[in-house]
Chain A
Amino acid sequence: MSTVTTDPHAHAEHEHHHGPAKGLKRWLYTTNHKDIGTLYLLFALTMFFIGGAMAMVIRAELFQPGLQIVQPDFFNQMTTVHGLIMVFGAVMPAFTGLANWLVPMMIGAPDMALPRMNNWSFWILPFAFSILLLSLFMEGGGPGFGWTFYAPLSTTYSSDSTALFVFSVHIMGISSIMGAINVIVTIMNLRAPGMTYMKMPLFVWTWFITAYLLIAVMPVLAGAVTMVLTDKYFGTSFFDAAGGGDPVLFQHIFWFFGHPEVYIMILPAFGIVSSIVPTFARKPLFGYASMVYATSSIALLSFLVWAHHMFTTGMPVFAELFFMYCTMLIAVPTGVKVFNWVATMWRGAMTFEVPMMFALAFIVLFTIGGFSGLMLAITPADFQYHDTYFVVAHFHYVLVTGAIFSIMAAAYYWLPKWTGHMYDETLGQWHFWCSLISVNVLFFPMHFVGLAGMPRRIPDYALQFADFNALISIGGFAFGLSQLLFVWLVVKCIKGGEKATAQVWEGAEGLEWTIPSPAPYHSFTTPPEIK
């Protein structure tokens, strides 16, 4: 026995340092940025389908005038929870997952700076969303006051699930703040020698700025939900005029969080598109520095425009003008970004793999969302657009064909690096084209329905809107089904496929493409050299 040469203890040590643990424990206890990134991404995908299922309920009810499938009370719960799940459960965790996977690899770091906090910030999320989803089964139903939970509908007039809603939003906020701290600390401290701020890839830059936005506004959201809680249960009157409060105060607080939140969901998307377009145009990004400045300007301006969500609440003319001008100003840096992307393509040598297709669709469709955003900024016209389907069309263009298309693009772009296999290009193109066509059948007609006067958040509508709503619903079902192709593709890619090279894409540049595919469990244990 004593002649056995392998030392089991030393072997275990070896395993511990160089490979993941096995089974469920690997995922529960992991502090590895790649494992946590994977968890975030899979969680986001799950939530995308749960929130999507709720959208299907909404579209099924709106397929025809009259009440057929659900009652108004439940309809309101569906619109509310659909919004909350998609914002806090799908888009934000997906971006955090991408940051976890990519930021360390892009700056030449071995891992995130605060790995245990990283584990914690992910693992509280499933609890937050379980609480939110289970509240739907309470007597009186789940939250039905819209994802914006305007007081006093969410205080005096809400059901008792509100307490659970508040608790769950608190947990989501804590998770986001921890994730943001981690990103900032990692970027500030773990950059490889020679990687100055102005050499960082744009995805790192945009996430860096996003993380500051998160730290600035998530506490504001926490304050808002806490005030809702105390107004409802502990006799305070922050939002009740009878006790000296003001219901409009709620909206100021909410949108002071809410507008930067919108940019939290789009700045990382800018970073993704800025990585993908140069790769497939085989040409460096045009105007790197101006991209950084434009992103920073958008972030700063986002704190000065919140009340453009509230033009109809009855503000002084002076305030309306101020918020209108500031909002219009945002078009300038956003325009600069779009112009830079187009200039990057100009005289490049382009190919059109799935990531590039999603990135191109992003540029066109996000810009359309930007145009309707500019129209909404014009206060007198906003009086007609506000709270109609025109707004619904606007924010779904920026969030679905904007944020979610960018996340799809990122998934296709980096999947070979994550799994070590190329994805199925044909299947990916099918997914892209089905999504592109159906998403426009889904959201484009909403512009017309809104201009014709259909308010949002109603379970039933006047007969003139019937044909368009049927069409929108068909687009919605088709878009929902198209996403199943994506799941099929991802599963296929994880299981096998053509081996990916380290470089993966001919034109790709950046540190993540210098390490093998799949990326080893620990990348850059010694920092790389940056020219």
Chain B
Amino acid sequence: MAKTSYLCWSLLTFLLAFSTQSAEMPLNMTQGVTEISQQVYHLHMKIFYICCAIGVAVFGVMFWSIIHHRKSKGVEPAQFHESTKVELLWTALPVVILILMAIPATQTLIAMEDTSEADVTVLITGSQWKWHYKYMDHKVEYYSLLATPRKQIDNKLKKGDNYLLEVDRPLVIPTGKKVRFLVTSDDVIHSWWVPAFAVKKDANPGFINEAWTKVDHPGVYRGQCAELCGKDHGFMPIVVIAKDQADFDQWIAQEAATQAAAKAEEQKLLSMNMSKEELMALGEKTYMGYCAACHQPTGMGIPGVFPALKGSKMALEDLPGHIDIVLNGKTGTAMQAFAKQLSLSEIAAVITYERNAWDNNTGDLVQAADIAKAQKP
């Protein structure tokens, strides 16, 4: 029968899974790299073993009964049907076991929720579908986006080792320091989860949650968004790099300098005009990174959800409206405000791109200075 062949298939695959690639996926919760994650792991194993013991006892009695107390063996059924003593016993015993479980769970939980006396604080903001990191004690902030190429997702390119778990700019934290995370969101609820730290905290729009970690060893740790946040929920990974204090200090100083320089450069650019080729090249890059997830690489959008840009009235005619919506977003919709996400020249370039790509040939060129003007009325 079809079913039997299916079963054979599944068994075969199961065996194959273990023979070829079993080393790849751990079969248990990670022990992680922090004291807390170790505690969580041991708590998990403790409860697991208790459940196994109860299971063996209960199923043992049940299967002993199934094997021996069957009609085909000619047994006469007993007729007993109640015993208050037994009922009390198997009510009280589980309570004792549960108390034994609750004590270590309570201790771990209280330690996990103590976010006081942090050395470094990072504000984590989720938005559809990327993370933003801002170091509260330094002038450093940036977005972190999925780095896996679209072609790998569409099966046109071989998938890399860290498929869907790689980002363009990871979060960097120092080792041996208590790092506090403030977690929030710009749109829907996301959840910031790094299994190796045993940190999973929801990012709620309009509210700030706290969590913390202290990583002892340098390394690269990967996680994902854990709360359904719309279309690309499966495509907003998290990568954290833990560095020694010295390396971290060097990195953050350099990063602060680079960001300051970029801002200065931006001001200078205001007086310069970019060529159409430059604008279109930068615009396409920006569009694919920030806009294509909703409006699609073809500019066609998704009917009923995300409007098309190709041939749209706004992209063809209404230039001030176009600049305004990219800068400030549109409240009540998924359209985000990009003023703080992109540089002036990127915004100028992406608007130029949208007005000239996909047969939108308006010929409009938008420069960084135009954006700056629109920003400060």
Contact = CB atoms under 8 A, between A and B. Distances in A.
Interface of A: 65-68, 72-73, 76, 138-141, 144-146, 150, 152-153, 156-157, 159-160, 240-242, 246-248, 281-290, 312-314, 317, 320-321, 324-325, 328-329, 331-332, 335-336, 338-339, 342-352, 360, 363-364, 367-368, 371, 374-375, 378-381, 383-384, 386-388, 430, 434, 437-438, 441, 448-449, 451-453, 455, 457-468, 470-471, 474-475, 477-478, 481-482, 485
Contacts of B51: 371, 374-375
Contacts of B281: none
A457 B229 CA distance: 10
Contact of B205 (A241, A375, A384): A241
A66 B65 contact: no
Given A290-B87, A380-B40, A481-B6, 10 more contacts: A67-B154, A73-B305, A144-B230, A325-B102, A346-B61, A349-B77, A352-B70, A367-B59, A387-B191, A455-B193
Chain B binding surface, main DSSP class:
mixed
B155 A324 contact: no
A452 to B, nearest CB: 5
Contacts of A160: 304
B363 interface: no
Contacts of B198: 380, 383-384
A324 B106 CA distance: 9
A471 to B, nearest CB: 5
Contact of B207 (A246, A286, A343, A437): A246
A287 B82 contact: yes
Interface residues of B, number: 112
A463 B161 contact: yes
Contacts of B199: 383
A513 to B, nearest CB: 18
Contacts of A360: 62, 66
A247 B200 CA distance: 18
Interface in B146-189: 152-155, 159, 161-165, 183, 187-189
B58 interface: yes
B69 A314 contact: no
A368 B48 CA distance: 11
B47 A349 contact: no
B225 to A, nearest CB: 7
B195 A453 contact: yes
Contacts of A247: 189, 204-207
Contact of B76 (A349, A371, A381, A459): A349
B110 A317 contact: yes
Q: Is the interface of A mostly helix, strand, loop or mixed?
A: helix
A329 B98 contact: yes
A72 B6 contact: no
A18 B95 CA distance: 55
Contact of A378 (B47, B191, B332): B47
Contact of B44 (A67, A381, A467): A381
B334 interface: yes
Q: Which 6 A-B pairs have the closest CB atoms?
A: A241-B206, A140-B304, A458-B234, A139-B304, A314-B209, A467-B17
25 contacts: A72-B234, A150-B189, A153-B230, A240-B205, A241-B204, A242-B206, A288-B82, A314-B202, A345-B62, A348-B78, A349-B77, A351-B72, A379-B105, A380-B198, A384-B200, A387-B193, A430-B3, A438-B3, A449-B25, A451-B26, A455-B225, A458-B234, A460-B164, A467-B20, A467-B25
B110 A153 contact: no
Contacts of B87: 287, 290, 336
A324 to B, nearest CB: 7
Contact of A156 (B17, B82, B109, B332): B332
B131 interface: no
B308 interface: no
Given A140-B304, A153-B188, A474-B13, A346 B69 contact: yes
A468 B17 contact: yes
Nearest to B195: A453
Given A66-B152, A282-B71, A343-B86, A462 B164 contact: yes
Contacts of B154: 66-67
